[in-house]
């Protein structure tokens, strides 16, 4: 990768002002694309619905000269990969997801609409505006560079990101491994549209305690309370939290027992673990797996693991952010960066050591909520930034 202000690949012909006015003139078309995508509902758990969206998107990307292929998935929509040839250099990966958290029919109560300088609707921010930015940025690059893109580009849109990416992770990692950089079009952070240069890793565990049932009145001393044991374990888990290291554990669900007059034979806790550093993942995993019962007559069974590594702000990530902030400055705007607690597929690619910049998508608020919306005026500069990053990342 080149550093500094070099734009590479002959893009000098198109200056920042030209890029901005190109997208400002086409603002309506970009808004229309977002509306179109929002109106094709695509909940993670509805294969048919997501397949409809991936087929539509394959057509849009192929119309821009890409070669589309589907990675078939049985339980989720087919993941879509589109490869674009380029004039020279290593490929860059544009990464995102088609699925949303909204069940089919949400549009009836949460219709797509434009008002107050915003576009509202399910998935508008997370992340149908990001997919639309990909489409329009690639179209612009085709126009500016004559026939063909300045460098090879792969678009990968998965269908199960909102439910953990189990089915797509290997595809994402394989495509990322042959890319020079990964640009993730997930929503930006905050009202200023900061990009995300660090994300926490995420783990999920279940701790099950097996004790011994007994009558709480007649045979109290013969019982071994699974609930008491679990309560002591939860207290112990809370001491593992280290906020300074960005390490948190949250017991979010507990269950156990049958009746008040029975010593409980079973109790279960489900916990969410977040790590900011890769090495903390193995350490916390070891600690959880080696938990010992306080009451030797109770048995612990621990299931789960770390399912997304943290996206750390490595030198490669920092370099990519620096490049993006220089471009943003030329576009007349100060691009900020943020570290966030939530994970994305960018965690996988950054975990492989590939320079990854996340949060390049829309600016807005209310992801996963009824007021989900994006700010329309932010789109031209986000699209301009994306074109320049594709050229020079």
At closest approach, how far in Å is the CB of 32 from Zn ion?
Answer: 22
Cα distance between residue 373 and residue 379, in whole Å: 13
Give the torsion sign (CA, 145, 34, 157, 381): positive
At closest approach, how far in Å is the CB of 162 from Zn ion?
Answer: 7
Which residue, 11 or 100, is less far from Zn ion as judged by CB?
100
Which residue, 98 or 226, is less far from Zn ion as judged by CB?
98
Residues lying near Zn ion in the complex (CB under 5 A) are found at 126-127, 186
Which residue, 186 or 337, is less far from Zn ion as judged by CB?
186
Contact between 26 and 83 under an 8 Å Cβ cutoff? The reply is no
Q: In what order do the strands lie in the sheet with 299-308?
A: 248-256, 266-275, 201-210, 299-308
- 172: its two tokens: 């994402």
Which residue, 285 or 372, is less far from Zn ion as judged by CB?
372
- 320: its two tokens: 């990519």
Closest CA to 357 of 183, 190, 129: 183
DSSP string covering 223-257, please? -B-HHHHHHHHHHHHHTT-BGGGTBEEEEEEEEE-
Which residue, 19 or 169, is less far from Zn ion as judged by CB?
169
Which residue, 127 or 354, is less far from Zn ion as judged by CB?
127
**Residue linked to tokens 């007559």:** 297
- 6: its two tokens: 């070099």
Closest CA to 84 of 13, 148, 6, 143: 148
At closest approach, how far in Å is the CB of 100 from Zn ion?
Answer: 8
**Residue linked to tokens 């080149």:** 2
Q: What's the Cα-to-Cα distance from 244 to each of 95, 117, 311, rounded to whole Å?
A: 31, 39, 17
Cα distance between residue 127 and residue 131, in whole Å: 7
Cα distance between residue 165 and residue 138, in whole Å: 26
At closest approach, how far in Å is the CB of 38 from Zn ion?
Answer: 14
Which residue, 186 or 229, is less far from Zn ion as judged by CB?
186
At closest approach, how far in Å is the CB of 65 from Zn ion?
Answer: 27
At closest approach, how far in Å is the CB of 157 from Zn ion?
Answer: 11
**Which residues lie across from 207 on neighbouring strands?**
269, 302
At closest approach, how far in Å is the CB of 84 from Zn ion?
Answer: 23
User: Which secondary-structure segment (H or E) carries 215?
Assistant: strand 214-215
At closest approach, how far in Å is the CB of 127 from Zn ion?
Answer: 5
Closest residue (Cβ) to Zn ion?
126
Which residue, 159 or 225, is less far from Zn ion as judged by CB?
159
């Amino acid at each position: 990768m080149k550093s500094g202000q070099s734009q590479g690949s002959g893009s000098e012909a198109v200056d920042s002002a030209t890029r901005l006015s190109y997208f400002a003139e086409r603002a309506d078309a970009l808004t229309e694309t977002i509306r179109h995508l929002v109106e094709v509902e695509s909940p993670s758990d509805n294969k048919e619905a997501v397949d409809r969206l991936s087929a539509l998107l394959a057509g849009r990307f192929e119309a821009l000269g890409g070669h589309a292929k589907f990675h078939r998935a049985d339980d989720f929509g087919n993941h879509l990969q589109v490869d674009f040839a380029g004039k020279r250099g290593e490929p860059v990966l544009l990464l995102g997801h088609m699925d949303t958290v909204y069940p089919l029919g949400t549009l009836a109560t949460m219709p797509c609409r434009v008002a107050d300088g915003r576009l509202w609707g399910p998935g508008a921010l997370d992340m149908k505006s990001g997919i639309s930015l990909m489409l329009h940025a690639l179209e612009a690059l085709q126009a500016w560079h004559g026939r063909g893109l300045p460098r090879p580009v792969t678009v990968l849109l998965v269908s199960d990101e909102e439910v953990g990416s189990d089915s797509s992770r290997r595809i994402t990692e394989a495509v990322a491994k042959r890319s020079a950089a990964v640009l993730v079009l997930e929503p930006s952070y905050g009202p200023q549209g900061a990009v995300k240069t660090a994300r926490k890793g995420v783990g999920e565990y279940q701790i099950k305690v097996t004790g011994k049932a007994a009558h709480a009145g007649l045979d109290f001393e013969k019982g071994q309370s699974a609930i008491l044991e679990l309560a002591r374990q939860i207290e112990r888990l809370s001491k593992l939290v280290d906020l300074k290291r960005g390490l948190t554990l949250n017991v979010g669900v507990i269950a156990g027992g049958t009746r008040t007059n029975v010593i409980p034979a079973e109790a279960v806790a489900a916990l969410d673990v977040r790590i900011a550093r890769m090495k903390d993942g193995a350490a916390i995993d070891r600690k959880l797996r080696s938990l010992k019962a306080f009451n030797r007559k109770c048995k612990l069974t621990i299931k789960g693991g770390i399912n997304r590594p943290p996206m750390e702000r490595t030198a490669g990530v920092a370099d990519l952010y620096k490049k993006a902030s220089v471009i943003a400055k030329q576009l007349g705007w100060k691009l900020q960066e943020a570290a966030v607690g939530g994970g994305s597929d960018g965690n996988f690619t950054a975990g492989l050591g590939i320079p990854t910049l996340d949060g390049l998508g829309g600016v807005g608020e209310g992801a996963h909520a009824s007021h989900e919306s994006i700010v329309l005026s932010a789109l031209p500069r986000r699209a301009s930034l994306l074109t320049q990053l594709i050229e020079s990342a």
